[in-house]
C-alpha cells in the first residue's frame, strides 16, 4: 500500500482519465462550429451533449455492477477503445447530425467506464489519510483534459477543421489503451479483501444494499449539486454564452475554460485536506460551495445589461471549485460502503452530477429557443446566443440544484441518524460545534 508501484498505477489511470475528459469536453469548445456546421437549433445542438451525458449517467450503475464483478482494468481499457471509436465517428459526421449523435453516444459509453474505474482502484493501492487527497488529485488532474480541449484541440479545430481535430483526439485514446494495458493492475498481490463479487446475483444484491444506505445517497446528492453547473458550462453552453452573449473572443473563452480547470487544481488539495481533517463536516463543505455558486450566478444574471468581464471571471473561478467539491460525494461512498461493493456505490454517486447536468443542459437549450422565438414574434429579433436569451435560460439551474439541496438535507439527516444508532456518533449543527470549540479555546487561555 502507498508504494512506488501504487503511484505508477495511479499515474497511468489518471492519464486515461485525462484523455476521457478531453474527449468528453471536446464538444464544449466546438459548440459554435457545430451549430453552423449542422445548421441546427439550440435545442437540437443540446441533444448532441445531452445524449452523451444521458448515456454516461445511464451506464453508471450497470458499469458499477460490472466493475465489482470483473475489476477496473478491463473497463478502463474498454472505455479508452470506445472513446476513440466515438471520436472517429464524430470526425466523419458532418453534415449529418444523426451520425454525430451516434459518435457522442459512444463517447458517453466509453467515458462512463473510466472515472469510477479509476476511483475504484484507489482503495486497493492506498490507505490512510492520503486516500481522500489522492481522490482529489485524481479528479483535479483529470480536468487537464479540459485544458487540452480548450487550447490544443481548439487550435486544431479552428485551423485545420472539424475532421482533423476529432480524428486527432481519437488517436490520443489509442495511446491511453497502450499505457493502461502495460502499467495498470487491479490490486497488489498481497491484498486479501475480495475485489469482485462472487456472482452476478451477489453483484445485484450489493447494488440494492448500496442504494439503501443513506450515506450513498448523501454522496449522490453532494455530486448532484456541486458538479452540474460547471459541467453544463464547460461541456456545452459556456463558450456560446461567453462568445455570443458576453463579447469574449474565442481565445478568451478558451482561456476561461482553462482557468476553470486551474481553479479546480488549486481548490482540490485544500478540499482534500479539509475532508480528511473534518470527516463529519463534509456536507457543510458541499453546502458552502453550492452557496458560493448561487451567489455568483445571481450576481452575473442580475447585473444590469452585460456584466463586466471581471465579474464573469469571478463566476468561472467559483465554478472551478465545484468540480473538486463533487469528489466529496465519492468520499461518502467510500466511508459508508465496503470495498467489495465500492464500484457500484461510486456509480450511484456519479449518476448525481450528470443527471442534473443533462437535465439542465437540455432545458437551457429549450428555453433559449423559446426566448429567441418570442423575440422574433415580437419584432425584436436577436441572435440565439444573445445574453438576454442566456439570462433567462440559465435560471433553470436554480430549480434543478434547489431540488438537489433538498435531497441532500434529507439524506444527511438520515445518515446522521444511522450513525447515531449504529455507532453512537452524534453530529450536531455546525454552529453548535463552532460555539463549543470557541468555548474550549477560551477555557485553555
CATH code at 382?
1.20.1250.20
Average pLDDT over residues 369-395: 89
Contacts with 366 (C-beta within 8 Å, 6 or more apart), sequence order = 43, 46
Lowest mean pLDDT: which of 129-133, 217-221, 346-350?
129-133
Instruction: Tell me the Ramachandran region of residue 161: left when phi exceeds 0, alpha when psi lies from -120 to 50, beta otherwise.
Output: left
Top-confidence residue, 129 or 377: 377
Structural domain contains residue 203: no
Contacts with 160 (C-beta within 8 Å, 6 or more apart), sequence order = none
Q: Which domain holds residue 253?
A: 9-183+211-440
Average pLDDT over residues 256-277: 86
Cis peptide before 272, with omega less than 30 degrees from 0? no
Residues in the chain: 445
CB of 420 closer than 8 Å to CB of 426:
yes
- Whole-number Å distance between alpha carbons of 135 and 162: 34
Structural domain contains residue 165: yes
Structural domain contains residue 224: yes
- Whole-number Å distance between alpha carbons of 68 and 50: 27
DSSP conformation letters of 33-86: HHHHHHT--HHHHHHHHHHHHHHHHHHHHHHHHHHHHH-HHHHHHHHHHHHHHH
CA 356 to chain centre: 10
CB of 94 closer than 8 Å to CB of 70:
no
Is the pTM value of this prediction over 0.85? Answer: no
What integer best gives the mean pLDDT of the chain?
A: 86
CB of 423 closer than 8 Å to CB of 279:
no
Structural domain contains residue 204: no
- Whole-number Å distance between alpha carbons of 280 and 154: 42
Tally of structural domains, the chain: 1
Task: Look at residue 258 in the predicted model and tell me its pLDDT.
Answer: 84
At 209, is the secondary structure helix, strand, or coil? helix
* pLDDT for 289 beyond 60: yes
Task: Look at residue 39 in the predicted model and tell me its pLDDT.
Answer: 77
Average pLDDT over residues 310-326: 93
- Whole-number Å distance between alpha carbons of 92 and 136: 36
Structural domain contains residue 240: yes
- Whole-number Å distance between alpha carbons of 127 and 131: 6
Structural domain contains residue 81: yes
Structural domain contains residue 198: no
Structural domain contains residue 3: no
Q: What is the band of 175 on the pLDDT scale with cuts at 50, 70, 90?
A: very high
Q: What is the band of 311 on the pLDDT scale with cuts at 50, 70, 90?
A: very high
DSSP conformation letters of 2-38: --HHHHHHHHHHHHHHHHHHHHHHTTGGGHHHHHHHH
* pLDDT for 370 beyond 80: yes
The conformation of residue 242, written as its DSSP 8-state character, comes to I
Task: Summarize pLDDT for 334-365 with one digit per residue, the tens.
Answer: 888 877 777 788 888 988 988 898 899 889 98
Q: What angle do CA 400, 383, 146 make, to 5 degrees?
A: 55
Task: Look at residue 428 in the predicted model and tell me its pLDDT.
Answer: 62
Average pLDDT over residues 25-30: 79
Amino acid at each position: 500500500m502507498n508504494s512506488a508501484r501504487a503511484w505508477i498505477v495511479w499515474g497511468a489511470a489518471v492519464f486515461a482519465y485525462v484523455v476521457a475528459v478531453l474527449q468528453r469536453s471536446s464538444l464544449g469548445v466546438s459548440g459554435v462550429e457545430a451549430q453552423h456546421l449542422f445548421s441546427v437549433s439550440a435545442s437540437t445542438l443540446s441533444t448532441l451533449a445531452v445524449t452523451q451525458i444521458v448515456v454516461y449517467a445511464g451506464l453508471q450503475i450497470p458499469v458499477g455492477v460490472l466493475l465489482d464483478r470483473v475489476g477496473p482494468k478491463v473497463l478502463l481499457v474498454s472505455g479508452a477503445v470506445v472513446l476513440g471509436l466515438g471520436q472517429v465517428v464524430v470526425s466523419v459526421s458532418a453534415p449529418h447530425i444523426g451520425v454525430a449523435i451516434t459518435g457522442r453516444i459512444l463517447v458517453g459509453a466509453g467515458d462512463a467506464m473510466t472515472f469510477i474505474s479509476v476511483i475504484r482502484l484507489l482503495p486497493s493501492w492506498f490507505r490512510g489519510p492520503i486516500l481522500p487527497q489522492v481522490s482529489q488529485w485524481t479528479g483535479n488532474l483529470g480536468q487537464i483534459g479540459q485544458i487540452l480541449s480548450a487550447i490544443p484541440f481548439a487550435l486544431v479545430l479552428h485551423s485545420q477543421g472539424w475532421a482533423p481535430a476529432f480524428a486527432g483526439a481519437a488517436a490520443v485514446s489509442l495511446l491511453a489503451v497502450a499505457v493502461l494495458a502495460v502499467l495498470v493492475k487491479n490490486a497488489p498481490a498481497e491484498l486479501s479483501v475480495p475485489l469482485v463479487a462472487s456472482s452476478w446475483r451477489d453483484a445485484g444484491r450489493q447494488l440494492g444494499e448500496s442504494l439503501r444506505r443513506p450515506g450513498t445517497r448523501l454522496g449522490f446528492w453532494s455530486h448532484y449539486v456541486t458538479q452540474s453547473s460547471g459541467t453544463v458550462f464547460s461541456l456545452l453552453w459556456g463558450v456560446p454564452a461567453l462568445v455570443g452573449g458576453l463579447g469574449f473572443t474565442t481565445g478568451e473563452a478558451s482561456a476561461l475554460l482553462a482557468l476553470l480547470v486551474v481553479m479546480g487544481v488549486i481548490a482540490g488539495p485544500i478540499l482534500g485536506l479539509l475532508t480528511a481533517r473534518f470527516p463529519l463536516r463534509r456536507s457543510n463543505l458541499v453546502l458552502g460551495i453550492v452557496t458560493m455558486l448561487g451567489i455568483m450566478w445571481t450576481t452575473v444574471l442580475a447585473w444590469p445589461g452585460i456584466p463586466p468581464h471581471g465579474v464573469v471571471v469571478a463566476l468561472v473561478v467559483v465554478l472551478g471549485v465545484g468540480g473538486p467539491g463533487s469528489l466529496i460525494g465519492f468520499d461518502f461512498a467510500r466511508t459508508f460502503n465496503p470495498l467489495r461493493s465500492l464500484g457500484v456505490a461510486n456509480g450511484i454517486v456519479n449518476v448525481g452530477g450528470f443527471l442534473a447536468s443533462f437535465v439542465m443542459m437540455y432545458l437551457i437549450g429549450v428555453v433559449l429557443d423559446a426566448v429567441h422565438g418570442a423575440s422574433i414574434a415580437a419584432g425584436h429579433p436577436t441572435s440565439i446566443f444573445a445574453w438576454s436569451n442566456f439570462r433567462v435560460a440559465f435560471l433553470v439551474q436554480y430549480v434543478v440544484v434547489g431540488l438537489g439541496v433538498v435531497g441532500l438535507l434529507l439524506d444527511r439527516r438520515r445518515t446522521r441518524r444511522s450513525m447515531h444508532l449504529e455507532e453512537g456518533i452524534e453530529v450536531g449543527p455546525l454552529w453548535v460545534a463552532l460555539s463549543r470549540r470557541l468555548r474550549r479555546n477560551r477555557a485553555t487561555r
